[in-house]
């Protein structure tokens, strides 16, 4: 079984400040991990993914995430927030094998607000 917990349903930052969105996962096999972004009334867009290569993963729009196996975490960061980063962010885990192969399990989402 696999699960994802996103700490904080709402995060608010000032423009130019550091963005940190937290994600912890549980998986019985080595996982693939993803961050997706969703703008209002739209589908999900992939920001970045971890596939067991480099533990520090760089994505689009200046975002990056670090896979920490010992902490079972995959937190999303961006050094300087922009107004256009305001959206909802989802962390997801997928199994690398077994009967859950190919299925994604999502966290509850974190809504990021950016203040001028």
Partner 1 sequence: DGGITQSPKYLFRKEGQNVTLSCEQNLNHDAMYWYRQDPGQGLRLIYYSQIVNDFQKGDIAEGYSVSREKKESFPLTVTSAQKNPTAFYLCASRLAGGRSNEQCFGPGTRLTVL
Q: Where on the chain is the footprint of partner 1 (CB under 8 A)?
A: 9, 32, 34, 36, 41-46, 49, 51, 90, 94-96, 101-104, 106-109
Shortest Å distance, C-beta 106 to partner 1: 4
Nearer to partner 1, 15 or 109 (CB): 109
Minimum Å gap between C-beta 33 and partner 1 is: 10
Rounded to the nearest 5 degrees, what angle is found at the Cα of 97, between the Cα atoms of 94 and 101?
A: 50
User: In the complex with partner 1, which residue's Cβ is closer, 14 or 55?
Assistant: 55
What is the DSSP secondary structure assignment for residue 30, as one 8-state letter? P
Closest CA to 85 of 33, 16, 22: 16
96: left (phi over 0), alpha (psi -120 to 50) or beta: alpha
In the complex, the smallest distance separating the C-beta of residue 62 from partner 1, rounded to whole angstroms, is 20
What is the smallest separation between the CB atom of 80 and partner 1, expressed in angstroms?
Answer: 27
CA dihedral 90, 45, 111, 51 (to 10 degrees): 30
| Contact indicator for 110, 10 with CB cutoff of 8 Å | yes
Q: Which is nearer to partner 1, 15 or 32 (CB)?
A: 32
Q: For residues 84 and 108, which CB has a smaller minimum distance to partner 1 in the complex? A: 108
């Amino acid at each position: 079984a696999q699960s994802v917990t996103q700490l904080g349903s709402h995060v608010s930052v000032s423009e130019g400040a550091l963005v940190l969105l937290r994600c912890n996962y549980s998986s019985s096999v080595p996982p693939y991990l993803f961050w997706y972004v969703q703008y209002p009334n739209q589908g999900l867009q992939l920001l970045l993914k971890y596939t067991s290569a480099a533990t520090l993963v760089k994505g689009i729009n200046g975002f990056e995430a670090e896979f920490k196996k010992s902490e079972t975490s995959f937190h999303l960061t961006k050094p300087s927030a922009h107004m256009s980063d305001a959206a909802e962010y989802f962390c997801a885990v997928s199994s690398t094998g077994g009967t859950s192969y190919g299925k994604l399990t999502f966290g509850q989402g974190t809504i990021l607000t950016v203040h001028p």
